[in-house]
Amino acid sequence: RLTAISAFVEWVSEVASFAEPIRVLVTGAAGQIAYSLLYSIAKGDVFGKDQPIILVLLDITPMLPVLDGVVMELQDCALPLLREVIPTDKVEVGFKDLDAAILVGSMPRKEGMERKDLLKANVAIFKTQGEALEKNAKKTVKVLVVGNPANTNCLIASKSAPSIPKENFSCLTRLDHNRARSQVAIRVGVPSDSVKNVIIWGNHSSTQYPDVHHAIVNNHGKEMSGFDAVNDESWLKGDFISTVQQRGAAVIKARKLSSAMSAAKAICDHMRDIWFGTPDGEWVSMGIYSTGNSYGVPNDLMYSFPVMIKNKTWKVVDGLAINDFSRGKMDGTAAELVEERDTALTFLGA
């Protein structure tokens, strides 16, 4: 038996040595989210244990000395799947021949800055990055936007890369999804993997709607609805929603820094599901292009829906019953996204 196992291990390592490396870009690569993210990508937690990686690390010029330190640490990890690390401040280098792009870097909101000023600064960044994707990346590239305002930044990037399918762009609401799942699990007293099919609708902002109307909880061996398992409707429609909506601000207040470890984990979850698909009967939340959806969400937004993924292609979970409470919440977050989009588009041609 030991001989068979060692032969299998040898075969896996041979497969890994012959597989073509994929090129994965992380922007904002000198920042704290990337610092929590890069090791997981490089060791095979995201794209597979037999998939060699070329990591491309993009950041602004003043951050290049910090980036050099990150490169040294990645080298010092001696990870067998990591074939090359390319640090750069040039978009034409960063976006060349990409298989996956994780766009973490964005302009953060500074004290006294109005939301429209934040949008204007980020439109310029994500227009440039979208154009770089259009010109340099593979047309099959999968693009995940993390930098906030993530939904609208994602929309601008996709509009600036018209020859890359809109379906290849998504933005991160998996962190919110994980937060919702965890809050229900803590309340019921079960592990987080006993909770599935929560939904984040809409914007990655304080208007998002964490929805448990279709969630299923394995409550100590008995499957039941999220509402029955929690058995506290006022909490589910009140404090639960506000806790998930405000969790990022609560982390900043406690740590004096924004979420990094949990954000990196969510990025890994999101990209791994794109690469390998979602389990049968389960869905996850992703910000995706809204045109053609069956839930009455306005077209031409990046809006978070429940999706199932197979063969690197997402499909919105259709046919879920939407009650009046949910409808109001879904419409409210859509209205914010329409306003963000319309403001951002005024800057796009500038």
* Residue list for the binding site: 59, 109, 115, 122, 146-148, 179
Separation of alpha carbons 234 and 242, rounded Å:
12
Of the listed 177, 204, 214, 270, which one is catalytic?
204
Residue matched to tokens 């914010």: 336
Separation of alpha carbons 341 and 338, rounded Å:
5
Cβ atoms of 251 and 258 within 8 Å: the answer is yes
Separation of alpha carbons 91 and 11, rounded Å:
38
Joined tokens for residue 110: 């500074």
Helix (H, G, I), strand (E, B) or coil at 207: coil
Separation of alpha carbons 217 and 209, rounded Å:
19
DSSP string, 303-334: EEEEEEEETTEEEE-------HHHHHHHHHHH
220 noted as active-site residue: no
Cβ atoms of 195 and 207 within 8 Å: the answer is no
- Rounded to a whole number of angstroms, the CA Rg of the chain reads 20
Listed residue (79, 84, 83, 85) closest to 34, CA to CA:
85
Q: Which H helix or E strand runs over 253?
A: helix 247-255
Binding residues for substrate: 109, 115, 148, 179
For the chain, the first-to-last Cα distance in angstroms comes to: 67
Cβ atoms of 180 and 187 within 8 Å: the answer is no
Cβ atoms of 136 and 97 within 8 Å: the answer is yes
DSSP-derived secondary structure letter, 110: P
Chain-centroid distance, C-alpha 16: 26
Binding residues for NAD(+): 59, 122, 146-148
Rounded to 10 deg, the angle between the 64-76 and 32-42 helix axes is 30
Catalytic residues: 204
